[in-house]
Amino acid sequence: MTGTFVPSDDDRLWAALAWVPVIGWIFAIIILLSEERRQRTFQRFHAVNSLAFGVAAWVLNMVLGLTGVGLLISCPISLALLLYQIYMAVQAYNGQMTEVPGLTPLLRQQGWL
One-letter amino acid at 108 equals R
Going through the chain in order, the beta strands assigned E by DSSP cover none
Using CB atoms within 10 A of its CB, is residue 27 exposed (0-12), middle (13-18) or buried (19+)?
buried
- pLDDT one-digit tens code per residue, 19-37: 999 999 999 999 999 999 9
- pLDDT one-digit tens code per residue, 68-83: 666 667 778 888 999 9
For the question of whether the overall pTM of this predicted structure is more than 0.95, the answer is: no
Q: Let me know: does 48 contact 95? Beta carbons within 8 Å.
A: no
Q: Let me know: does 100 contact 88? Beta carbons within 8 Å.
A: yes
The C-alpha atoms of residue 94 and residue 89 are separated, in whole angstroms, by 9
